[in-house]
Amino acid sequence: MTDANTGKSAADELQTTDANVVGPTMPVRNPVAQGPVNPPAHTVDGFVEAFLRELNFGQGVLLSRSTVNDQYLALARTVQQYLVAGWLETGARRRQGDRKIIGYLSAEYLLGRQLDNALMATTLGEIAEEAMTQCGLDLARLRAQEIEPGLGNGGLGRLAACFVDSLATLDVPCIGYGIRYEYGIFRQTFVDDRQAEVPDSWLSLGSPWEFPHPERQVRVAFGGRTETTTDEQGRERTTWIPAWDVLGIPYHYMVPGYRNGSVNTLRLWSAKATQAFDLQIFNSGDYAEAVRSQTFAENISKVLYPEDSTPQGKELRLQQQYFFVACSLHDFIENTLPRDFDLRRLPERIIFQLNDTHPVIGIPELMRILVDLKGFEWDEAWDITRECFAYTCHTLLPEALEVWPVELLGRLLPRHLEIIYRINDNFLDEVREAYPGDADRVRRMSIIAEGPQRAVRMAYLATIGGSRVNGVAELQSQLLREKVLPDFSELWPDKFTNITNGVTPRRFLHQANPLLSTLITEAIGPSWVTDLEQLRGLEPYADDAGFREQFQAVKQANKERLYRELRARDGLELPRHAMLDVMVKRLHEYKRQTLKLLHIVSLYDDLISGDVSPADMVSRTFVFGAKAAPGYYMAKEIIYLINSVGRTINEDKRIEGALSVAFPANYNVTLAEKVVPAADLSEQISLAGKEASGTGNMKFALNGALTIGTDDGANVEIRALVGDDNFFLFGLTEPEAEQLRADGYDPKAFYRSDEKLRRTLDLLGSGIFTGGDASASAPLVQNLLHDDPFMALADFRSYLDAQTRVDEAYRDSDAWTRSAILNVARTGFFSSDRSMRDYLDRVWLA
């Protein structure tokens, strides 16, 4: 094992680095042993044979005595056999070449189910289906057995999963680095309409998709102090003398490209104690104390922080961040590069992409490796380091930008803090030179924020220490330059760029929507799956009545598939023919689920007041999916009220089923794959200037839902592409919202001046939804009336008007379908393949 802290290998420990790979120790005489063995035959018989081998020899059971879990595990391992040869071959090819590798550093990967993806990538779907049938098994049931690895919160983690998919499909060398959380995002349940969280024990039934490599463990140090001495050449040398350490064990996952034989690696780190337990203490009888340090160390990768767009300034979180970044940098430098590699050329071989600020501690870590361990001069190390990192910023909320108290960072990573100070000193000298006499600017741009508590601004460190900074949609990139990092973009205008997010068309169109996928392929051929701009070829079909009919039939079938799923999964009964109006995303005030709720309550008010009869209303089924961070009080109140309103409406016979609300618990990637293809209307209604991009918005448009949305995030680009006629725009623009705030926003004024709003809010607050208890809705209602930080009341009228336009449009089902087809045809831009090409052009190979 080598030590990430000292770089020295301990002779008495396991031999672990790639440089220590031994291979055969005598001549290889059997030709089969020369290369990877062939995968099983790509036939039903070949598959059956391999499956039974896995079941018998891998699981140790007979088919006749097997459980569903045995069958699933054997099936997963069988499908893997077809992928592994490509994986080994890709690895060998990558090692021979000297192409630059993308080191994608992300604290989250929201992967979704692996079996489905592997079947798709290997073209094994039909073979596996038939093979299982011949064994008397139902493939769908086995697929459903898989618990998805929920190693992320929402958009940011899912984006990382889409990106690694696209890189493999483009055959670009990439290693995805992250954390193998033992518990991913919590499983959400509802108890009395309120969210309750249950741990997500996704590993409990086995994890066939991972390849653990304990022999490649890396030691990561924490705490302690530093010591500076002068060496024989008179140079200052700093040594870090840490106080404690943990081991990082890599688990490898295959990331298959789409039917191109190329398979990249996702390397997730799991923390393990350096010493399992203290035998002396154990022998003395204090068992709990004997394993205390083990528990402490292993907590590092125990559980994902369920925070989304709000940072958790907790010590354990910083430990997680440094842990996976230190493991990853060490892994790349010591195990992936050739042994004698000249580190001055490091930027030719690697670019570490920082997925938000979570991995930014990698910048001082690389400086430490180069200066302290490899003996580089500071300036040279700094030039190398800056070329090796690039930073993506995923937010516009100032409170979501991570800062670490100096005290905490110094306690946990004393050497890194020193390095950060030095980076800052040098940088501020540069600022003083560029802007003589501008002390205020120097203070503004310092990595160290002075008050109220001295803290390290990680976004600044990333901007200074990286070669490029990008936002994730045009509008956000512009606001990033103008509002979040204005001084930096003034100093280095060329450093900033935009790369609009994308989603993988494989999982979110081809796999999730097989009926639409087939229809598209019949119309324009199959290559759109890896070249999504080809969807443009569908445009003429929007005017083809026969095609529209087929398209409608697909949508209806997808709705029914969703309703079957929701009946089985959540016991929900939903009407077959209603507009499916969907809002799925994390619960956050800025995303404004409340505005959606106000719309629903206003329609309900129309009905029960007799203003509109149920027969005259366009019937709608509202689907919500949303987890709230467990500590986010207001978000949880909103969940409670959505459930309360939903139940009241669903049970009210007077409205004759004109409205219904479904809020299935535990929205995740697996459920998204059923919800997205079924939707008619996609709700993207954040306050302008708050949603960095959104990626759900892209998935819905690609699957033929029309968007009702504000001018925010990637909505702006969706609207520009699909055209104003095929998008329902409403609400304040970002400058208008800013102006309104500057003028002193008063939600009460809107309440007073709009009768419909008044009735709606009064109804929501009346207690009729909460068992007669008006106080139960007060936290939200009062917040809206007195504060309304995201201006739901200001946008209410405009939203209602837009929803009226939606109703009108929906009544003309032919015209609606035409718009839906145009949405599909015109949103090929939002493929993550395109995003990856943009990163290659503008960041990684720029």
Which residues form the catalytic set?
394, 585-586, 591, 695, 699
Bond from prior residue into 173 cis (ω within 30 degrees of 0): no
CB nearer to ligand NBG: give 415 or 588: 588
| Residue 164 contacts ligand NBG per CB under 6 A | no
CA atoms within 13 Å, Cβ hemisphere of 397: 18
Among the residue ranges 2-10, 671-679, 692-700, 806-814, the one whose residues contact ligand NBG (CB under 6 A)? 692-700
For ligand NBG, the binding residue among 182, 308, 372, 637 (CB under 6 A) is 308
Among the residue ranges 140-148, 394-402, 600-608, 747-755, the one whose residues contact ligand NBG (CB under 6 A)? 394-402
Q: How far lies 435's CA from each of 166, 425, 484, 488, 496, in Å?
A: 43, 15, 20, 12, 20
CB 4 within 8 A of CB 221: yes
For the bound state, the minimum distance from the C-beta of residue 84 to ligand NBG, rounded and expressed in Å, comes to: 31
CA atoms within 13 Å, Cβ hemisphere of 27: 1
Q: Which DSSP category does 303 fall into?
A: B
**Which of 220, 270, 279 lies closest to 249, judged by CA?**
270
**Number of residues this chain uses to bind ligand NBG (CB under 6 A):** 18
CB nearer to ligand NBG: give 555 or 834: 834
Residue with tokens 């008010």: 605
| Residue 832 contacts ligand NBG per CB under 6 A | no
| Residue 333 contacts ligand NBG per CB under 6 A | no
Among the residue ranges 9-17, 136-144, 152-160, 502-510, the one whose residues contact ligand NBG (CB under 6 A)? 152-160
Chain-centroid distance of CA 453 in Å reads: 31
| Residue 818 contacts ligand NBG per CB under 6 A | no
3-state secondary structure of 226: strand
Q: Which DSSP category does 3 fall into?
A: B
Q: How far lies 215's CA from each of 276, 487, 737, in Å?
A: 16, 47, 56
Q: How long a stretch of residues is the chain?
A: 846
For the bound state, the minimum distance from the C-beta of residue 451 to ligand NBG, rounded and expressed in Å, comes to: 25
CB nearer to ligand NBG: give 395 or 489: 395
Among the residue ranges 78-86, 393-401, 504-512, 593-601, the one whose residues contact ligand NBG (CB under 6 A)? 393-401
For ligand NBG, the binding residue among 156, 361, 455, 458 (CB under 6 A) is 156
CB nearer to ligand NBG: give 594 or 684: 684
CB 272 within 8 A of CB 249: yes
Q: Which residue is nearest to ligand NBG (CB)?
A: 155
For the bound state, the minimum distance from the C-beta of residue 793 to ligand NBG, rounded and expressed in Å, comes to: 23
Nearest-angstrom CA–CA distance, 796 and 783: 15
For the bound state, the minimum distance from the C-beta of residue 181 to ligand NBG, rounded and expressed in Å, comes to: 16
Residue ranges with strand state E in 653-705: 659-662, 681-684
Kindly write out the interface string for residues 265-304 of this chain, putting x where it contacts ligand NBG by CB under 6 A and - elsewhere: ----------------------------------------
| Residue 462 contacts ligand NBG per CB under 6 A | no
| Residue 309 contacts ligand NBG per CB under 6 A | yes
| Start-end of H helices in 500-592 | 505, 514-524, 545-570
| Residue 713 contacts ligand NBG per CB under 6 A | yes
CB nearer to ligand NBG: give 392 or 819: 392
Nearest-angstrom CA–CA distance, 657 and 655: 6
Alpha-carbon dihedral sign for residues 635, 639, 641, 642: positive
Nearest-angstrom CA–CA distance, 629 and 197: 10
Among the residue ranges 62-70, 123-131, 456-464, 686-694, the one whose residues contact ligand NBG (CB under 6 A)? 686-694
CB nearer to ligand NBG: give 385 or 695: 695
CB nearer to ligand NBG: give 76 or 151: 151
| Residue 677 contacts ligand NBG per CB under 6 A | no
Q: How far lies 464's CA from each of 179, 202, 269, 428, 485, in Å?
A: 25, 38, 27, 11, 11
CB 380 within 8 A of CB 374: no
Q: Tell me the two tokens of residue 811.
A: 């009544």
Alpha-carbon dihedral sign for residues 587, 589, 591, 594: positive
For ligand NBG, the binding residue among 333, 574, 645, 692 (CB under 6 A) is 692
- Looking only at the bridges linking them, the beta strands covering 681-684 and 706-709 are parallel
For the bound state, the minimum distance from the C-beta of residue 247 to ligand NBG, rounded and expressed in Å, comes to: 29
Q: Tell me the two tokens of residue 828.
A: 């090929």
| Residue 159 contacts ligand NBG per CB under 6 A | yes
Nearest-angstrom CA–CA distance, 730 and 685: 9
For ligand NBG, the binding residue among 86, 112, 150, 155 (CB under 6 A) is 155
Nearest-angstrom CA–CA distance, 787 and 102: 45
Among the residue ranges 19-27, 148-156, 191-199, 486-494, the one whose residues contact ligand NBG (CB under 6 A)? 148-156
Residue with tokens 């809010």: 761
Nearest-angstrom CA–CA distance, 762 and 760: 5
For the bound state, the minimum distance from the C-beta of residue 789 to ligand NBG, rounded and expressed in Å, comes to: 16
For ligand NBG, the binding residue among 501, 593, 644, 670 (CB under 6 A) is 501
CB 688 within 8 A of CB 737: yes
Among the residue ranges 61-69, 539-547, 687-695, 731-739, the one whose residues contact ligand NBG (CB under 6 A)? 687-695
Considering only residues 469 through 498, tell me which ones interact with ligand NBG, judged by CB under 6 A. Answer: 472
| Residue 695 contacts ligand NBG per CB under 6 A | yes
Q: Tell me the two tokens of residue 287.
A: 């068992």
Considering only residues 334 through 373, tell me which ones interact with ligand NBG, judged by CB under 6 A. Answer: 356
Alpha-carbon dihedral sign for residues 320, 322, 325, 328: negative
| Residue 694 contacts ligand NBG per CB under 6 A | yes
Among the residue ranges 212-220, 691-699, 731-739, 831-839, the one whose residues contact ligand NBG (CB under 6 A)? 691-699
Residues that bind ligand NBG (CB under 6 A): 154-156, 159, 308-309, 356, 394-395, 400, 472, 501, 691-695, 713
